Amino acid sequence: MHPTTDNRPNLLLAMGPGVADRLLTEAHRTRLAELARTDPHLVAHDLTAPDPRTAAALAEAEILLTCWGATPLTADVLARAPRLRAVVHAAGSVKHHVTDACWQRGLRVTSAAGANALPVAEYTLAAILFAGKRVLRSAQRYADTRTDDAWLTESAPWGNYRRTIGIIGASRIGRRVVELLRPFDFEILLYDPYVTTPPPGTELVDLDSLCARSTVISVHAPQLPSTHGMIGAPQLAAMPDGTTLINTARGSLVDEEALLPHLVSGRLHAILDVTDPELPPPDSPLWTLPNVLLTPHVAGSLGNELHRMADQALEEVARYGRGEAFAEEVRASDLTRSA
């Protein structure tokens, strides 16, 4: 029971159809009802034309708890939410729904980008280690030949001992990858134009040097106009034969038209969780090339990993209710160089 004077903030869930059922367990919904005045089973899918029940909840909401598929919070939507003070986003980037109108209104914003960074970093670590061992190639070759005759000679240049790893972007994910790589015998190069002091155990270099020196390169830069196609023909040409390019950021950061000839020839390898377009055309060589591992944007939170984002979001709701600052506050200025 709550005291007669109930100071809990009013809260409304706002996200795409089916998302709340994957994001929130019943335990999450129970805790949410303890932290805020809300119907934890009422989810607003479209705030531009809400039904009467949703419209009433939006009019009273002090917090919107959002996730993937949330309605963009335009001035028209915000006009229906006169009491709104905060947006708690239970996912990564807020750029898809937090508009300039939100900042002009002075809304406080937080996201679970930190919780979403961990599975991406874990995927990247696995990809780096598998790339060094040439797991994709060896598995395919093993299935084709069903012998082990050639491995001792063919695997001579393989392995993960003192391999040079290039990390592009000291983002939240990029920094987490660096942390996960520390126990291994790697030389770690980092490129990020905004970093002046590199994390311990890394060498700060320019992009061209990173591409020329690394045998595994992982992309963790944000999608910005300045990063579009940042891995282009010159950078790809500079990569040593046999280099593996890993992209878990955004497909637009890599010039795929320039990349494809290097992949078709077998000179480079790639592990791509994102592409441009997001779904490659049916006739794209990426589907069938033996030196390409193509996954459908699964590096980020998936399955029960969504519950980690829900945990972080509910902690932020609790902080708001106690009158504390958000632990992972997002500011408008952050979005000029973040995803």
Query: What are the CA-CA distances from residue 145 to residues 141, 142, 287 (Å)?
Result: 6, 5, 22
* Run of H or E residues at 208: helix 207-213
Catalytic residue among 29, 250, 262, 269: 250
Is residue 278 among the annotated active site residues? yes
Q: What are the φ/ψ torsions at residue 83 (nearest 5 degrees)?
A: -95, 0
Partners of 166 in the β-ladder: 189, 217
Q: In terms of C-beta distances under 8 Å and separation of at least 24 residues, what long-range contacts does 181-188 make, across chains too?
A: 181/125, 181/128, 184/129, 184/160, 185/160, 185/161, 186/160, 186/162, 187/162, 187/163, 188/164
Catalytic residue (choose from 96, 297, 308, 337): 297
Q: Can 146 be counted among the known catalytic residues?
A: no
Tokens standing for residue 145: 């030949």
Q: Who contacts 267 (Cβ-Cβ below 8 Å, separation ≥6)?
A: 241, 242
246 token code pair: 């890993």
Active site residue 297: yes
Tell me the catalytic residues: 250, 278, 297
